[in-house]
Amino acid sequence: MARVGLVDSPRFEDHLTAECPERPARVPAIRRTLDEQGLLDRLTSVSPGPVDGELLRRIHSDAYVQEVLRFCAEGGGLLDDGDTIVSTASAEVAMLAAGGGVAAVEQVMSGTLDRAFALVRPPGHHAMPDRAMGFCLFNNVALMAERARQLGARRVMILDWDVHHANGTQAAFADRDDVFVLSWHQSGLWPYSGAVSEEGTGAGTGTTLNLPMTRGSGDAAYWQTWQELVVPAAERFQPDLLLLSAGFDAHWRDPLADIQLSVPGYARMAQALVTLAESLTQGRLVAVLEGGYDLQGLRHAAAATIRQLLDADGTAIDPLGLSPRGTVKEADNLIRTVRTQHAWFRD
């Protein structure tokens, strides 16, 4: 039986965000569903601690870190020029979220755990080196990848299935060949980046792969990209660790986007991710929560994903069903574009 860890803490509910969709209720909704489905007792608890300051400054500028600390200490408010709302406790909670993801990586890299899920907030994949963005303060998954490299992973692959482009994660590693960043996201959606042509720079050319999915894409279209693009890219890159930025806002119920994934669709991809890890990384796989703003879609899709980390049997409890709006069932044009234009496939 796989040893699977869960990073969790009631402190993650102390990051208060007023009426923002990224709200404290997200974490307890998932926790409650894990308990209802009999999964919580099967997971090994991982206690988070604050991220190491030196590690934090390998991804974020010192000036930005100091600005977050100061702004929160003065009472919080709107941290950026968009929608990242913070409270007095937010800086401390964000450091705990990043530290929790790092702790999960440390336990998987040491062999204490086989896989892990960091049930943390605030999310991180939009956080840029020098500014907050899109509900994100510090880039959790980037810090996790950086820590894995310190622990001896030669190559780390980050897969991000949040419905919004992983722009902060891409920025952190665009010029590096030791971290591969792959992002599925809805084409044309905020933050309006993530084209196939964004493939990395310098030594990192080819190790950024963006998959902008057509509005309305469903399970079949995502699965097609998995088989025809994701697996070949991973097999060529040969990572020592897989990281998943696990956003669940591509579920068909989510109010902020128009991708039509179902709970079984998430389960199928999570099962395939475990299989990929077993073939490439000796099973080493760590997921960290990103977005997902409909509590029903979020909690059931997250539970289905965590069930696959435990069992990898493809099963899911899904009271929500398939999208009533119908879905785009293929990604032929995207696959053709990637194969002809992207350096990783073109060479």
Length of the chain: 347
Q: What is the CA 219 to chain-centroid distance, rounded?
A: 18
Is 126 a residue of the active site?
yes
Task: Round to whole Å and give the CA distance between 182 and 195.
Answer: 12
Among 60, 126, 164, 342, the active-site one is 126
Task: Round to whole Å and give the CA distance between 129 and 127.
Answer: 7
Give the up-direction half-sphere exposure of residue 133: CA atoms within 13 A in the CB hemisphere: 19
Task: Round to whole Å and give the CA distance between 152 and 313.
Answer: 30
Q: Are strands 241-246 and 156-160 parallel, antiparallel or unpaired?
A: parallel
Phi then psi dihedrals of residue 117, to 5 deg: -130, 125
User: Of 284, 184, 190, which is closest to residue 224 (Cα–Cα)?
Assistant: 184
Task: Round to whole Å and give the CA distance between 190 and 187.
Answer: 9
Instruction: Name residue, tokens 């069932």.
Output: 329
Long-range Cβ contact pairs of 199-203 (< 8 A, separation 24 or more): 199/342, 199/343, 199/344, 200/173, 200/174, 200/175, 200/343, 201/174, 201/175, 202/175, 203/175, 203/176, 203/177
User: Of 301, 277, 295, which is closest to residue 161 (Cα–Cα)?
Assistant: 301
Q: What is the CA 142 to chain-centroid distance, rounded?
A: 10
Active-site positions read: 126
